[in-house]
Structure 1
Amino acid sequence: MKVEVVPHDSTWQSKFEDESKLITPTLGNNLVKIHHIGSTSIPGIYAKPIIDILVEVKDITKVDEQNSVIAVFGYEAMGELGIPGRRYFRKHIEDKRTHHIHIFEVNSPEIERHLAFRDYMIAHPEDAQKYSELKRKLAKEYPEDIEGYMDGKDGFIKEFESRALAWKAEKI
């Protein structure tokens, strides 16, 4: 998979909102909340142009019953895909990945981790720029190697997730 990192696009927020409106009815009263996460949710930084959506639901097992309905909107169900308790979906348009949906049951620590990282980066633009620069560097180093790109970000993400969780705990 080609690694493409592009400047922030002001349409990413509206693309998230449009997609949220599409998937909301499929989850019905199981839906608790939908969040825009990932680099496209952080203003001013470079990102892979893929909208990441985090969905909180009451009962994760009920999501499996909706796979065929979610597929109508172009999503491929990928199961947990390495994260226990997650339901992961990905969408392609014309062979280009455009969206990811990460669904977790309410109170999953994965929700807090993702939201804390996003909120920390928005509140600390200097750290967000460090992340942006790292992503650009890795995209140049690994233009055809998504695994190398992801591995290269791992240490940074873990360090800043830890900072973000501590920062969030201080705010409460």
Structure 2
Amino acid sequence: MDGSSREGGTMTTHPLWLSFAAEANARRQGQRIADRQTPPGPVREHDARWRDDFIEVGRLIADTIGDQVIEIRHVGSTAVPGLAAKPVIDIDLTVPDVEDEGAYLPPLEAAGFRLIFRDAMAGDPHRHLTLARPNTNLHVWSPGAVEPLRHALFTEWLGANASDRERYGAAKTAAVEATGGERYNDLKAAAVYDIYERAFLADPFHHHDPQPRPGLPASVVDGNRT
């Protein structure tokens, strides 16, 4: 991801940076909604009980495949106090080898989870499962996968930055109002990318040259650090 050339030197990007992809979720959105057990529901004000839901699902996972669990992490909007969200718990689960499905998938399915995607994100294999109650997205990864690291950074950043919580909440509401939710994830993708840019620029451990979305000057991102 690093080392893109620029006039007079080298462009340095954060190790978790990914280029902007405006329509990355279009192919998956319909299937994501159709194949899950429980509809995601509308965006609503944050509910403190979502943390309890995460704890409940985390215990179910640990009780079901404890020997396979490396990490269970609550991510996404329901993990950020004060942020409006669809009432779906997003969880990143790290197992020794996501492609060794026999080690974890049958017991999770027996416990009520449903596999709806086998794919790759940022080049890493990924399995997406859902649970009916509490309504859950379970994302399964191998150690070292990039996307769960991005999820953790995004969740922590929003928790600490009120202005970007407000930006993201507004983008979520606008995305729902624009299409009724059919292209919800793609319509908020610009806000997500811009928030990542600010998080990367503020990271004290990694240098990041601004990478604004096409058509935007670097000052749009760099000038909105929080």
Contact 2:68-2:103 at 8 Å conserved across structures: no
Name the structure 1 match of 2:129: 89
Q: What aligned pairs does 1:93-104 form with structure 2 within 5 A after superposition?
A: 93=133, 98-104=135-141
Contact 2:116-2:129 at 8 Å conserved across structures: yes
Instruction: Give distance in 2, aligned partners of 1:64 and 1:160.
Output: 37
2:131 is aligned with what amino acid? K
User: Is the radius of gyration larger for structure 1 or structure 2?
Assistant: 2
* Correspondent of 2:194 among 145, 155, 159: 159
Deviation at 1:66, TM superposition (A): 2.3
Name the structure 2 match of 1:129: 166
Say whether residues 1:6 and 2:44 are aligned partners.
yes
Structure 1 residue ranges without an equivalent (≥5): none
Say whether residues 1:170 and 2:204 are aligned partners.
yes
Instruction: Give distance in 2, aligned partners of 1:166 and 1:35.
Output: 24
Q: The residue matched to 2:188 in structure 1 has which SS?
A: helix
Deviation at 1:34, TM superposition (A): 0.7
Instruction: For residues 42-82 of structure 1, give each alpha carbon's deviation from its aligned partner in whole angstroms, at most 9, with x where no partner exists.
Output: 11111010000111222223344322211123211124245
Instruction: Give distance in 2, aligned partners of 1:9 and 1:156.
Output: 23
Contact 2:65-2:107 at 8 Å conserved across structures: no
Deviation at 1:171, TM superposition (A): 5.1
| Structure with the largest fraction of helix | 1
CA RMSD of aligned residues (A): 2.1
Say whether residues 1:56 and 2:94 are aligned partners.
yes
Name the structure 1 match of 2:116: 78
2:73 is aligned with what amino acid? H
How many residues align? The count is: 166
Deviates more, 1:13-22 or 1:68-77: 68-77
Contact 1:13-1:41 at 8 Å conserved across structures: yes
Q: How does the TM-score come out when normalised to structure 1?
A: 0.86
Name the structure 1 match of 2:144: 107
Contact 1:116-1:165 at 8 Å conserved across structures: no
Runs of 4+ in 1 over 2 A off after TM superposition: 25-30, 61-66, 78-84, 161-167
Instruction: For residues 124-149 of structure 1, give each alpha carbon's deviation from its aligned partner in whole angstroms, at most 9, with x where no partner exists.
Output: 11111110111112222222x43x21
Q: Percent identity?
A: 24
Q: The residue matched to 1:7 in structure 2 has which SS?
A: coil
Deviation at 1:166, TM superposition (A): 4.0
Q: The residue matched to 2:108 in structure 1 has which SS?
A: helix
1:71 is aligned with what amino acid? E
Deviates more, 1:128-137 or 1:13-22: 128-137
Instruction: Give distance in 2, aligned partners of 1:33 and 1:166.
Output: 27
